[in-house]
Structure formats: C-alpha cells, structure tokens
Amino acid sequence: MDTKRMFELSDKHLMTFTKRYPVALVRGEGSRVWDSNGKEYLDFTGGIAVTALGHSHPKVVGTLREQAATLVHVSNYFHIPQQAQLAQLLCEHSFADRVFFSNSGAEANETAIKLARKWAKEHGSSDRGDIISMRGGFHGRTLATVTATAQEKYHHGFEPLPGGFKYVAFNDLRALDRAIDSRTAAVLVEPIQGEGGVIVPDEGYLPGLRKLCDEAGILLILDEIQTGMGRTGKLWAYEHSGVAPDIMTVAKALANGVPIGATLATEDVARVFTPGTHGSTFGGNPLATAVGVTVFSTLIEDKLAERAGRVGTLMLEALEAIRAKHPKAVKEVRGRGLLAGLDLVPPVGDVVAACRERGLLVLTAGDNTLRLAPALIVAEKEVAEACAIIDTALKAAAP
C-alpha cells in the first residue's frame, strides 16, 4: 500500500489514542528496521523494551513458523506442553514456584492485584485489600492498573476509578511505613521506574521494602515488566538487591513481541487461586508460550543478561560523556544495563525527531527524558553509532 494512503486510512479509521510519528516500519533484522520508503534506522526503542533478541531472530522465526503450522490455540481446559515448559523455566530461574499466563503487562498486573487481595483475605481480615503503589510509577491501562499507576494524567476522564489504591512517593521508605495499615494487602512497585523516567532508587530501597512488608505481614509485588528478562544486567532487576518479591509480573520481552504476560508467585501465595477463581482465554496458548520458551532459553544459553550489563555499562559511559559535552542540554544520565534515560533541557520531542531524521529511533519517558532500550543483542559498534547520532541531534536541537 502507498505510504500516503496508509497514513490517511490510519487517521480516518483508528482511534487516536496516541500520537504517531510519520513513519511506518515494515521490516526488521537485529537492531535495525526499515520504513515503507526503504529508509534504514537503528532501533533503540526495541518496540518499548520488547524485542530483546532483536528483530527476525532466526530461532524466534523458526519457532513461530513451526508452532503456527502445528497448533496455535486450544484453551486452558487442556494441558499445554509449551506452557508447562515455560512455567518450569521461569520458576527454575526465579524465586517463584508457580506461574499464571496472560496476554499483556496490564493483565499480568491485574492478576497480581487479584491474587494479593485474595491472599490477604485468607491471611487476615475480610476488609484487607488495599494496594499501595508509588507516585510516578506505571502499571498499565486497564481500570485497576491505571488506578495503580499513580499519575493523574493517566486518570483524567476515566473516573470513577476502582477503590482500594493508595499512593506514596517512590524511593521513600518512611512514607510507605506511614501508609501501611490494617487494610493493606500489598505493595506494588517497579524496581526501576521505566515509563516514569528511568528512575533508579537508592540501593537500600528494595531491601527496605521487603522488611516493611514482612513486618506488616503484607505482600511485595514487583512489576518487572520492563526491567525483567535481562534488561538491567541480571535476569531480574530484584537480583541486584539481594531480596525477592512474593509476586512478580513479566511481559514485554518474554516472547519478543508475541503478546504474553506472566504473573509469578511463591507457593504460599499462588495456592489461593483454585479452579474457577481466575482465567484467560488466550493466556498461555501454544504459540505464545512456544516462543516464550525459545526466547527464555536463548536468553539463558547466550548469557544475554550478563551481556546487557557489560554493553549497558559502555552505553551509560558514552551517554555520560555526551552529558559532559552538552551540560546545557543534558541534566542527568540514569539507568542500569541496557535501560537508560537522559533528562533533557530542550524539548525531548525535538531531540527524538532529530535522532529519527539521522536514522536512530529512541523512546521518551517521564516529563522530558530520552529513553533507550535497545535489543540485548545490540553490537558495541551500534551503541557507538547511536551515541554519535544523539550527540549530533543534541547539537541540532539545542545549538
């Protein structure tokens, strides 16, 4: 289809829930993508931290082809071998004993909230059900998860919002301590706030959260939808902290772009779900979980978390050098592994556009933060190339 005609159809028939760049990406390979006019870009968005193995990874393509030609969907009334295998992999490589599969990050968090509330009812009193989440966090767009997302801009117009949610400042243990009461069921938090601007908390924050939750007898839910799957240099970001959650949600990179979500829990917590309490039609179907098995096995065999840590350190050093060169345009560089944020002075949209014109795709986050989330297989050479483009884009956007 002609590119101009496609833009017209998009404008005419799609709900305008987001602003789109005037680009249609039609093909990808590794860390590179091509648009409908044949222009090549370095992809440092990874489809929002999704395509961890890059585009058209041969193993992912192979599994997709094979599984699509064998069995795509059956429903959870039947055992699904790929689902059992992916659950085993996730449990063997995390704190968890059991997994529930769904189709997105929001659905994984919805499941976590329902699970925590049910657990709290069975381990306390019937009026326990409050979820405490952190200001500036992001947990999804369904009604419950958008309410857990403590940012007014995502709530506006959607009231009445579901009850039972409380907010405290991120990285503030004392505020959390004050907020926990007899109605609290769980604390829901990202180990690093992604959409909120790549905000890395103090080193003692996660251990402090764990301690407060243990003292109050409530659950700690970690949303690792963006930070998990090796992105920060460990398989799970909580591994940097020495403590583990009771529930963890995973999605984005788990099947490299095939929709999937997973809610992981300890045996003690998972046991409150019994036949009939929860469900999902598509969740954990053979296609999504077959790809999940391939992605997860590749991540482990190719030691991609370690790689993300090593290449991520180089990337953060290069970005720090860019900050030193442009002190009036870049306020701060934050991040861990291959998740980085640059707080900018010039409008981030101008810098994103200047990067795109020069063949680099990047994300935004928070108020005015440029966010990078390349594939974990990104070459060091490509990181250098991307940083050189950011350097010239900053010169152009903030002369």
Which of residues 118 and 252 has its CB atom nearest to ligand PLP in the complex?
252
CB of 108 to ligand PLP, least distance (A): 8
Distance in angstroms (rounded) separating the CA atoms of residues 270 and 98: 6
Cβ closest to ligand PLP, residue 189 vs residue 219: 189
Minimal CB distance residue for ligand PLP: 105
Residue 252 appears among annotated catalytic residues: yes
Residue 40 or 158: which CB sits closer to ligand PLP?
158
SS (H, E, C) 205-221: HHHHHHHHHHHHCCEEE
**Pick 103 or 294: Cβ nearer ligand PLP:** 103
For the chain, how far is it from start to end, CA to CA, in angstroms? 39
Q: Please, which residue, 84 or 143, has the CB nearer to ligand PLP?
A: 143
Tokens 């909580």, located at residue: 238
Nearest distance from residue 289's CB to ligand PLP, in Å?
16
Q: In whole angstroms, how close is the CB of 81 to ligand PLP at the nearest point?
A: 25
Q: Which listed residue (130, 223, 246, 343) is catalytic?
A: 223
**Is-catalytic flag, 95?**
no
Q: Would you tell me which residues interact with ligand PLP (CB under 6 A)? A: 104-106, 109, 138-140, 190, 194-195, 223, 225-226, 251-252
How far is residue 321's CA from residue 211's CA, in Å, rounded to a whole number?
38
- The residue (of 140 and 201) whose beta carbon lies closer to ligand PLP is 140
| Whole-number Å distance between alpha carbons of 198 and 192 | 6
The torsion angle over the Cα atoms of residues 103, 109, 115 and 118, rounded to 10 degrees, is -130
| Of 131, 133, 136, 140, residue with least CA distance to 105 | 140
CB of 134 within 8 A of CB of 168?
yes
Minimum gap (Å) between residue 162 Cβ and ligand PLP: 16
Q: Which of 44, 252, 296, 343 is catalytic?
A: 252
Tokens 């900053």 appear where? 394
Between CA 284 and CA 103 the distance in angstroms is 8
Write down the least CB distance from residue 224 to ligand PLP, Å.
Answer: 8
User: What's the Cα-to-Cα distance from 45 to each of 52, 299, 314, 341, 352, rounded to whole Å?
Assistant: 10, 19, 18, 12, 11
Is 97 an annotated catalytic residue?
A: no
Smallest separation, CB 127 to ligand PLP (Å) = 27
The least CB distance from residue 375 to ligand PLP, in Å, is 16
Using the minimum distance from each CB to ligand PLP, give the nearer residue, 226 or 241. Answer: 226
DSSP one-letter string for 264-324: EE-HHHHTT--TTS---SSTT-HHHHHHHHHHHHHHHHTTHHHHHHHHHHHHHHHHHHHHH
Specify the pairing of strand 330-336 against strand 339-344.
Answer: antiparallel
Catalytic positions, written as ranges: 138, 223, 252
